[in-house]
C-alpha cells in the first residue's frame, strides 16, 4: 500500500487524533496522554521492526513483569508475523499486527514503543513517539545524522518522555563495577582507550532494479528518506552499507564500544576527529567503509576505534572489545566481563559472566542483558527516573561515530566545539550534520 503522509492523515481523518511526521495534530497531546495513563503501572508496548533483532526483543519485552506487547509493526508481512509468533511463544496473547506503526501512536493504551527500524527511521520515529505521548526504547544508533539526534533530545524534553538507547552495557552490573574501578584509579590515570569490532561479511554484489519483494511496503520503508529505486541487494540487511539509509559499521556496531570508552573516560566530546579507511574487500554497491580507523583526540586521552567488517581476526582473543591504558596498568573489557592487568601484564583481577555470549551480534551476554536494559527502561517509566542510556547519553556516543564518518567522507580532520559537539569552522563537514528529506516527511519538534 502506497501510504504517503497526506494519504495516511486522510485515511484516519475520522479519528479523534492524527499523527503527522512532524508531530501531533490538534486534539491529542502528551499532557492528555499522561492524564489517561494515570497511576497504572502495567506497561503496554508496541514493537516497531520485527524481522531480526526486533522479534527477539519483542519476546524479551513480553517476558517482563506487568508488561504486554500489544502491537508488532513491520512494513513486511513475513517479518510482522515473525514478531507476532515470538510473542505468542512466551505464552502471552498474540499482539495485533500493523503495517504502519503510526496507527499505534493513536492508541491511548500504548505506553511505549520499541524501535528496531532501519537507521534513517530511528529519529523520526522517536520524535513521533514522544509527540504522541509514548516513551521510547530506540536501538542504536540514536539517529542517522547529528541534527536528528539533537531533535530527539528536544522531543524527549519537550514532551517529558523517557527515551532510552539500546546500548545495553549501560545496564550491565558487572561492567558498571569495572567502570567504577577504572574511575577509582585501578590502572592509574587513563591516557588511551582502544576499541574494535570485527566480522566476516560477504560482498553484496551489484544490485539490479527490480519489482519490490512481495509483501513489502517499500514506500513506507523509505519513509523520510528521498525516494530511490528498489534494488534486489538492499533488504533485509544491506541497507546498513548505503549512506542514504545506513551509517556503516561505525554506528551499526562501533557505537557500543565507543559508548563504553566514553563512559570510562568521562568525556562528553572529543577535541579532534580523524578517520581513514574505505571499501577495500570487494567492488560492489557497498558504500561505507569495510575497513576504518577513527582517532579521537580528547583533552587528556586518545581514543581509537578499529572496524574490520570483512576480516574477523580477533584482538586480545575478542571480536569486539575495549582496552583502557593507564599509567599503572590496563583494563580489558569484552562481551563477557573485564580483566585488570598491571603495567607488566600480570592479571590483578578477572571478572567473567556466566551468561550465554553472542559477542558479534548482540554486544552483550545474550538475552539476559537485553532483559536488564529493558527492565531499566520500564522502571524508569514507572518511577519517572532517568534511564541508564538516556537520550542525551545516547546522542553523545552516537555523535562520536557520526563525526568519524563525517571525517571519513570529507577526507580531513575535524575540530569539535566542546560545548555542543559541533564541527568548528568547516562548512563542508557541517553540510553532513543533517540530511535532505522526502517532501512532506520532514521531522519536526
Instruction: Provide the CATH number for the domain around residue 396.
Output: 3.30.360.10
Q: What is the CATH number of the domain that holds 111?
A: 3.40.50.720
Do 57 and 176 lie in one domain? The reply is no
Task: Indicate if 13 and 162 belong to the same structural domain.
Answer: yes
| 434 found inside a domain | no
**Residues 150 and 193 both lie in one domain:** no
> Domain check: are 153 and 192 in the same one?
no
In a domain, 72, yes or no: yes
In a domain, 260, yes or no: yes
Which of 140, 168, 196 corresponds to the end of one domain? 168
Q: Which domain holds residue 227?
A: 170-207+217-364+392-424
The reply to whether 96 and 235 lie within a common domain is no
Do 119 and 154 sit in the same domain of this protein?
yes
Residue 187 sits in the same domain as residue 131:
no
pLDDT tens, the chain, 445 aa long: 444 444 433 433 333 334 455 433 333 444 544 433 443 589 999 999 999 899 999 999 999 999 999 999 999 999 999 999 999 999 999 999 999 999 999 999 999 999 999 999 999 999 999 999 999 999 999 999 999 999 999 999 999 999 999 999 999 999 999 999 999 999 999 999 999 999 999 999 999 999 999 999 999 999 999 999 999 999 999 999 999 999 999 999 999 999 999 999 999 999 999 999 999 999 999 999 999 999 999 999 999 999 999 999 999 999 999 999 999 999 999 988 999 999 999 999 999 987 544 444 444 445 689 999 999 999 999 999 999 999 999 999 999 999 999 999 999 999 999 999 999 999 999 999 999 999 999 999 9
- Are 272 and 313 in the same domain? yes
Number of domains in the chain: 2
* Alpha-carbon gap, residue 317 to 202, rounded angstroms: 22
Amino acid at each position: 500500500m502506497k501510504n504517503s503522509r497526506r494519504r495516511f492523515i486522510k485515511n484516519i481523518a475520522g479519528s479523534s487524533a492524527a499523527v503527522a511526521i512532524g508531530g501531533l495534530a490538534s486534539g491529542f497531546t502528551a499532557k492528555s496522554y499522561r492524564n489517561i495513563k494515570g497511576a497504572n503501572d502495567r506497561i503496554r508496548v508496541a514493537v516497531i521492526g520485527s524481522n531480526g533483532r526486533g522479534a527477539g526483543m519483542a519476546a524479551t519485552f513480553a517476558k517482563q513483569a506487568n508488561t504486554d506487547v500489544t502491537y508488532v509493526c513491520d512494513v513486511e508481512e513475513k517479518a510482522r508475523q515473525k514478531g507476532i509468533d515470538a510473542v505468542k511463544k512466551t505464552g502471552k496473547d498474540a499482539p495485533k499486527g500493523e503495517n504502519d506503526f503510526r496507527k499505534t501512536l493513536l492508541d491511548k493504551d500504548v505506553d511505549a514503543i520499541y524501535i528496531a527500524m532501519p537507521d534513517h527511521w530511528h529519529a523520526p520515529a522517536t520524535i513521533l513517539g514522544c509527540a504522541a505521548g509514548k516513551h521510547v526504547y530506540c536501538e542504536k544508533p540514536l539517529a542517522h545524522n547529528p541534527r536528528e539526534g539533537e531533535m530527539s533530545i528536544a522531543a524527549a524534553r519537550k514532551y517529558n518522555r523517557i527515551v532510552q538507547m539500546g546500548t545495553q552495557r549501560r545496564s550491565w552490573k558487572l561492567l558498571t563495577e569495572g567502570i567504577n574501578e577504572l574511575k577509582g584509579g585501578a590502572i592509574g590515570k587513563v591516557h588511551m582507550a582502544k576499541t574494535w569490532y570485527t566480522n566476516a561479511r560477504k560482498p553484496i554484489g551489484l544490485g539490479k532494479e527490480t519489482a519490490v519483494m512481495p509483501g513489502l511496503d517499500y514506500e513506507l520503508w523509505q519513509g523520510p528518506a528521498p525516494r530511490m529505486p528498489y534494488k534486489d541487494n538492499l533488504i533485509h540487511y544491506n541497507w546498513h552499507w548505503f549512506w542514504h539509509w545506513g551509517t556503516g559499521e561505525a554506528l551499526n556496531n562501533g557505537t557500543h564500544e565507543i559508548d563504553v570508552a566514553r563512559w570510562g573516560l568521562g568525556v562528553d566530546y572529543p577535541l579532534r576527529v580523524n578517520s581513514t579507511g574505505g571499501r577495500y574487500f570487494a567492488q560492489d554497491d557497498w558504500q561505507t567503509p569495510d575497513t576504518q580507523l577513527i582517532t579521537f583526540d580528547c583533552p587528556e586521552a586518545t581514543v581509537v576505534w578499529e572496524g574490520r567488517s570483512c576480516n574477523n581476526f580477533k584482538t586480545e582473543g575478542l571480536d569486539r572489545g575495549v582496552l583502557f591504558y593507564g599509567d599503572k596498568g590496563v583494563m580489558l573489557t569484552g562481551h563477557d566481563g573485564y580483566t585488570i592487568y598491571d603495567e607488566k601484564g600480570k592479571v590483578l583481577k578477572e571478572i567473567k559472566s556466566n551468561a550465554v555470549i553472542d559477542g558479534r551480534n548482540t554486544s552483550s551476554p545474550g538475552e539476559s542483558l537485553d532483559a536488564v536494559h529493558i527492565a531499566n527502561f520500564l522502571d524508569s517509566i514507572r518511577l519517572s527516573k532517568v534511564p541508564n542510556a538516556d537520550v542525551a547519553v545516547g546522542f553523545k556516543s552516537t555523535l562520536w561515530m557520526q563525526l568519524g564518518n563525517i571525517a571519513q567522507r570529507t577526507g580531513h580532520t575535524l575540530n569539535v566545539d566542546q560545548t555542543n559537539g559541533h564541527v568548528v569552522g568547516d562548512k563542508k563537514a557541517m553540510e553532513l550534520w543533517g540530511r535532505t528529506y522526502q517532501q512532506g516527511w520532514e521531522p519536526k519538534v
